[in-house]
Amino acid sequence: MLASVLLKTLRDQGRLLLAWAVSLALIVATYAAVWPSVQSQPSISGFIEQMPEAFRSLFATSSADMSTPTGYIQVELLSFMGPIAVLIYAISAGAGAIGGEEDRHTMDLLLSNPVGRGRVVVDKFLAMVLGTFGLAAVMGVSLVLEGSMVDLVLPPDKVAAAMLHLALLGVVFGSLALALSAATGRTGLSRGVPAVLAVLAYIVNALAPLVDVFDRIQKVSPFFQYIAHDPLRQGVAWDSVLVSTATIAVLVALAVAGFRRRDVAG
């Protein structure tokens, strides 16, 4: 596990990733456990429909029908809890990638080996990608397996599509954190800015139907790429994947360029 910066970074995150995976499986299990009682009470859908429209946009995907497995998971997990969990991990991993190693003063040791700065950034990025996709996979597998035990039946291919989009959402913001970390070395800033932007992007996408300004910029929100096409029903939207991937590529290029031109904190 010490053969490259990538493997070393994953090794460092080992326990953290394990803790995240267990937490996600437990969260999904909680939702699965509640499902039978939700299913037997169709009035919950009525309750959601009675909510003010702004509320419904923010906390539920507007057209979701809570009495179907797909609608339930979409409202309960994909709209809120899932993105929060994946974003927290990805942003922390991205922000800690370069700045974290400088905070612990180990960057001098790492860079005194014949390893290019670009290589370090790319390896740290790949570790964050693998971690994020791994956590999304854990969430997806938990959904399908734990769901099947309580008659919460979800099509595995659609779940996989939703998790792909969820992971890409995480990687977009994680890459932003990485770019800030690489260009400034400041971990707090690299964590805070993407977190705030993620909240804004969420609000823009959620309230777009109600607010004119948001409607016009909705498509730049990574949350639009993630959820607007309803992946749990429609599967993968390749144009959204393309937009996300391009965004990530630009951010990683900026991260490499930013780290190459600045002084390393000793």
Partner 1 sequence: MVQLAGVTKQFGRNTALDGVSLTIGPGEVFGYLGPNGAGKTTTIRLLMGMLRPTSGTASVLGLDAWRQSREVHRVVGYVPGEPALYDRLTGRQHVAYCAHLRHRDDANRAAEVAARLDLDLDRPARTLSRGNRQKLAVVLAVMSRPRLLVLDEPTSGIDPLVQQVFHSILREHTADGGSVLFSSHVLGEVERVADRIGVVRGGKLVAVERLQDLAARSLHRVRARFAGDVAAEDFAGLPGVRDLLVEGRTLSCNAPQSALDALLKLVSAREVEDFECSEAPLEETFLSYYGMDQAGGTALSAAGSAAQHAG
Closer CB to partner 1, 212 or 263, in the complex = 263
Other C-beta atoms closer than 10 Å to the C-beta of 216 total: 11
Closest CA to 226 of 158, 146, 167, 182: 167
Work out how close the CB of 89 gets to partner 1 at its nearest, in angstroms, rounded to a whole number: 20
Work out how close the CB of 86 gets to partner 1 at its nearest, in angstroms, rounded to a whole number: 26
3-class DSSP state for residue 221?
A: coil
Lookup: tokens for 93? 């991993």
Stretch that binds partner 1, among 133-141, 173-181, 194-202, 257-265 (CB under 8 A): 257-265
Q: How many residues bind partner 1 (CB under 8 A)?
A: 24
3-class DSSP state for residue 154?
A: coil
Among positions 2, 40, 52, 212, the unique one binding partner 1 when judged by CB under 8 A: 2
Residues 195, 46: contact at Cβ < 8 Å?
no
* Residue numbers 88-127 binding partner 1 by CB under 8 A: 104-116
Work out how close the CB of 25 gets to partner 1 at its nearest, in angstroms, rounded to a whole number: 26
**Helix axes of 117-149 and 82-103: crossing angle, nearest 10 degrees:** 150
Does 29 interact with partner 1 (rule: CB under 8 A)?
no
Does 18 interact with partner 1 (rule: CB under 8 A)?
no
Does 230 interact with partner 1 (rule: CB under 8 A)?
no
Looking up tokens 């909240």 gives 199
b/e map of 135-148 (b: 16 or more CB within 10 Å)? bbbbbbbbbbebbe
Q: Find all residues with CB under 8 Å of 243, minimum gap 6, and list them.
A: 225
Work out how close the CB of 176 gets to partner 1 at its nearest, in angstroms, rounded to a whole number: 25
Work out how close the CB of 80 gets to partner 1 at its nearest, in angstroms, rounded to a whole number: 34
Closer CB to partner 1, 104 or 216, in the complex = 104
Work out how close the CB of 2 gets to partner 1 at its nearest, in angstroms, rounded to a whole number: 4
Residues 207, 57: contact at Cβ < 8 Å?
yes
Residues 170, 136: contact at Cβ < 8 Å?
yes
Does 261 interact with partner 1 (rule: CB under 8 A)?
yes
Closer CB to partner 1, 6 or 252, in the complex = 6
Work out how close the CB of 8 gets to partner 1 at its nearest, in angstroms, rounded to a whole number: 6
Question: Which stretches does DSSP call E strand in the chain?
Answer: none
Does 182 interact with partner 1 (rule: CB under 8 A)?
no
* Residue numbers 197-226 binding partner 1 by CB under 8 A: none
Contact residues for partner 1, defined by CB under 8 A? 2-5, 8, 12, 104-116, 261-264, 266
